[in-house]
Amino acid sequence: MQILSFECREEEKDFLLADLAEAGTLGVQETARHGGGWLLEAWFEDCAEGLAEKFGNRGATLSRPEAVDWVAVSRAQWRALEAGDRLFLAPSWDRAPTPEGRLRLVMPPGTAAGTGLHAATRLALAGLERTLRPGESVLDLGTGSGILAAAARLLGAGRVVACDIDPDAAAAAHQYLEGRAQVFAGSCRSLRDASLDVVAANLSPQAFSVVAGEIARLLKPGGRAVLSGSPEAKRAMVSRVAGGAGLVETGAIEIGRASCRERV
Ligand code: SAH
């Protein structure tokens, strides 16, 4: 791969782009120059011949792109972090030791929503930590990557069910969870009334409004829902919908996006 670079005036640019296309460029990056004009950087396969001569009268130069380690670049976006009081989320390649007293949860690979890097997911994790008692049954409603289901299992849940209306997310969760939960594509309508101790739902306010009644239906008396995913501005609306479905607020986690509600 090589890059042909040169500057040109505004009125020349379109003609030069056409010339570069004719010369077989793979793509051109156009950067506006302070004070007018453009820097054109055209990418070519290694075998492109006579290029510098063709555009030589403009002072064109040929260079090779710097080798970029894209694996390292992508990994740098991920970092191990603490969630709640008991969890430690870490990418699979991270060697950072697990802080004392915490449980290590390997982050899902990122093909579906829910790596743990998003605040709403971490609040849902903290909510689960707070409310889940050992052996209880859990539904991860809108599982995305499967992260809440995995955390529920790690925190000592008994039966764990996870579902997502997006079949690709359900497939990703199934792969990540490796048997730690029963995963299915779809919403929760097929689950039995009063069959769950805890429902964890990190959903947008709109998505929550659709399933609030279902969440209340699924919870056993005394069951608890961990609701996350609503921006502060929508919190009153979500509280109203939850209250209308019979879910009574029992606590909120400080940033105010996740809250735990109990069925009455
Ligand atoms: N649980 C993960 C992902 C949350 S993103 C986490 O906490 O990070 C929300 C997910 O909910 C998306 O994957 C979306 O497809 C799913 N979803 C939205 N409405 C749903 C519904 N009615 N039933 C099941 N899944 C739903």
Q: What percent of the chain has pLDDT over 70?
A: 95
186 Cα to the center of ligand 1, angstroms: 10
52 Cα to the center of ligand 1, angstroms: 53
Strand partners for 31: 39
> Each residue of 78-91: pLDDT tens digit?
889 999 999 999 99
Mean pLDDT value of segment 6-23: 94
Q: Does the global pTM surpass 0.75? A: yes
Residues 6+ apart with CB under 8 A from 213: 245
> Each residue of 21-58: pLDDT tens digit?
998 999 999 999 998 999 999 999 876 677 777 887 88
Q: Judge whether 177 and 151 are in contact, CB under 8 Å.
A: no
Mutate to test the pocket of ligand 1, among 164, 204, 209, 226 (most ligand atoms within 8 A of CB): 164
Q: Judge whether 141 and 163 are in contact, CB under 8 Å.
A: yes
Q: Judge whether 253 and 127 are in contact, CB under 8 Å.
A: yes
Sign of the CA dihedral with 95 first, then 99, 100, and 105 last = negative
164 Cα to the center of ligand 1, angstroms: 6
Mean pLDDT value of segment 7-12: 94
- pLDDT tier at 146 (50, 70, 90 boundaries)? very high
> Each residue of 197-216: pLDDT tens digit?
999 999 999 999 999 999 99
Residues with CB under 6 A from ligand 1: 113-114, 121, 124, 141-144, 147-148, 163-166, 169, 187, 202-203, 207, 210-211
Q: Distance between CA 120 and CA 15 in Å, rounded?
A: 50
Sheet architecture: strand order including 138-141: 182-185, 160-164, 138-141, 196-202, 219-228, 259-263, 247-252
229 Cα to the center of ligand 1, angstroms: 10
217 Cα to the center of ligand 1, angstroms: 18
Strand partners for 61: 5
Mutate to test the pocket of ligand 1, among 89, 203, 228, 238 (most ligand atoms within 8 A of CB): 203
Mean pLDDT value of segment 138-162: 97
Which residue minimizes the CA distance to atom 13 of ligand 1? 144
> Each residue of 229-264: pLDDT tens digit?
888 788 888 889 999 999 988 887 755 445 666 664
